[in-house]
Chains A and B, each alone.
Chain A
Amino acid sequence: MTSRRIVLTPWAFLTPALLLYALFTVYPVARALILSFQRNIDGEIRWAGVAQYQRLLGDDVFKQALFNTGIFLVVQVPIMLLAALLIAIALNSKRFPLRALFRSAFFLPSIMSLVAVGVLFRVLLNEDLGLVNYLISSLGLSAVPWITHPWWAKITVMLLLTWRYTGFMMVIYLSGLQTIPDELYEAAEIDGSSGWQSFWYITLPLLRPTILFTTVLSTIGVLQIFDEALIVTRGGPSNETLTIGLYLYQTVFSSADFHYAAALSWVLVILIGVLSVLQLRLGERGQG
């Protein structure tokens, strides 16, 4: 075993992955950077300096999308993660009846494709003919404008995100919980600590890496979402559920404005990067 071989071997194993990344991620992203400094004038591509970025500063739609995405991030992510954590803790207990069945039930929504989710919920949430409003009205309440009202539409998107991803997050928490040895809880019980104390002093600290992982994952997910908003509310009403991801999609495909989209996407990449690093730093500091 020569030392040269040691140096080269890992690279040989990494070659396929690195090649794929270079071609299908690094190259397109670099290309987008170049595009963002150009413009299309009647089919001719010209250099435009920072004009696209300047336009972005005065773009109210972009600001609205940023605001909406922020709301989803601040409201939906914590609620979903908390729900997933609590469900996971309950379903981790051996005393829970039929827990395998329950776990499967909660995970089920994440196997459904987004196209399918869109189709189903557009019908179920139809204001006049949907089952959901039918049930609500039969309780004597007034029908909910799920898709047409600015705030309800936001809630609809958040409910959908929660419906689809809570089970997935629950599974991640479950696997995190299973790495915590039962003896810790048994010892705590002998010492006379309550269930709440066990949760606070054993479960939470040991689950910290998992919580951090799911937080970063959901943050990235929410900042990139466009399909959920696209398929059910289509960004409406009045851009109230327009996310940055969806705005980017529209700019690329409806307006065919690749150069502005490239500028938008670089701002988005930087934003996600900063937030992820920030979360990781905070997570680490909390640990220390």
Chain B
Amino acid sequence: MKKRFSLLETAVVLVLAIGAFLAVFPFYWMFSAATRTSADVLGIPPRIDFGLALWQNLETLIARGFFLAAWNSLLIASVTTVLTLLVASMAGFALTQYQFKARENVFALFLITLIVPPQVTIVPLFQLMAGQNPFSINLLGSPWAIMLPALSSSFAIFFCRQAFQKYPSELSDAARVDGANEFQVYWRIALPTIRSSLAALSVFVFLGQWNSFFLPLIMNSNNDAGRTLPLLISSLIGENTIDYGALIAGTALSVLPVLIFFLLAQRLFVSGALSGSVKG
């Protein structure tokens, strides 16, 4: 019993269709250009069909260490995601389930760090990681130098705090009566109730770290062995020579896994899973 579309509605659908096309087209173009040689990517006239140089481009990428970089990216992004979720959910739990004096101030402290631009902290951070700290611990060259600073995510804490606000504290009290300690209450009772929020958050954290460029660039002193995918791609951009074919093929390959995952789990991104976070 659908109503017919009005003129306005048809126009809206049309406009959004154009918008959606513009949003997606660069992805298509990227995959088509990945199959071309360098001179052909900048060919006249520009082409949008597929070429024959995909294998040649892949060979260049593999020779430059594509698989190792992909493995590094996967490792760093996965570990960061798990640890960020742990740290942020613990903080979110504390900020919603307990009454204590400094609670709002602590939350404000976390939020205020959102305004600190990353360029400000990078040099002191680098020196800190390089062993210029009271413990003389040198973390450069280990993935921890990339992961640790990423763990303090205000966005994740904000997100978890909002998710826990809907959590009924009677559940905790019941568990306490049954003899659970506070960590067990958090881990076994509270955490599972915000599963869907955590799933959505994990997608954002993973994506952020998978695409992260600036911090890994500075912190990776382990050179080729510690390179992540964005670093590998960027390393293909020489001063006066750029292998556009390999460059775009690498770009496409770095987007591909995320794209596949996105298409499989798109509900997580675009459904209401975020709703807890911005209720305000």
A interface residues, Cβ below 8 angstroms from B: 1, 5-7, 9-14, 16-18, 20-21, 23-29, 31-32, 35, 87, 90-91, 95-97, 100-109, 111-116, 119-121, 123-124, 126, 129-131, 134, 163, 166-167, 171-172, 174-176, 178-179, 208-210, 212-213, 220, 223-224, 226-227, 245, 248-249, 252, 258, 261-262, 265-266, 268-269, 272-273, 276
Contact = CB atoms under 8 A, between A and B. Distances in A.
B142 interface: no
The DSSP consensus for interface residues of chain A is: helix
B234 interface: yes
B119 A248 contact: yes
Contacts of A130: 46
Given A14-B90, A87-B16, A113-B210, A178 B23 contact: no
B94 interface: yes
A124 B275 CA distance: 36
Interface string B1-33: 011010001001100110111111011011001
A286 B275 CA distance: 23
B255 A112 contact: yes
B103 A29 contact: no
A213 B278 contact: yes
A14 B91 contact: yes
A90 B244 CA distance: 39
Given A31-B124, A111-B207, A111-B255, A178 B272 contact: yes
Contacts of A120: 26, 29-30, 248, 251
A10 B119 CA distance: 32
A17 B87 contact: yes
A10 B121 contact: no
A42 B123 CA distance: 19
Most-contacted residue by chain B among A13, A26, A245 (CB, 10 A): A13
Contacts of A100: 266, 270
* CB-based closest 5 A-B pairs: A209-B280, A113-B211, A28-B121, A13-B94, A265-B120
Nearest to B210: A113
A106 B116 contact: no
Contacts of A226: 119
Contacts of B45: 134
B63 interface: no
A223 B123 CA distance: 20
B53 interface: no
Contact residues on B (Cβ < 8 Å of other chain), bracket: 35 or more
Contacts of B21: 105
18 contacts: A9-B98, A11-B100, A13-B93, A17-B88, A17-B152, A17-B157, A24-B121, A24-B149, A95-B2, A96-B13, A111-B211, A111-B262, A116-B255, A167-B23, A209-B278, A245-B117, A248-B120, A249-B119
A210 B278 CA distance: 6
A123 B119 contact: no
Contacts of A109: 23, 26
Contacts of B13: 96-97
A175 B278 contact: yes
A63 to B, nearest CB: 18
B138 to A, nearest CB: 15
A174 B277 CA distance: 12
Contacts of B19: 87, 106
A112 B31 CA distance: 13
A115 B214 CA distance: 10
B48 A131 contact: yes
B266 A129 contact: no
Contacts of B59: none
B5 to A, nearest CB: 8
Contact of B22 (A20, A112, A163): A163
B44 A213 contact: no
Nearest to B213: A115
Contacts of A14: 90-91, 94-95, 106
Contact of A227 (B109, B214, B270, B277): B214
Contacts of A32: 120-121, 124
A224 B118 contact: yes
A97 B5 CA distance: 11
Nearest to B251: A116
A265 B26 contact: no
A12 B97 CA distance: 13
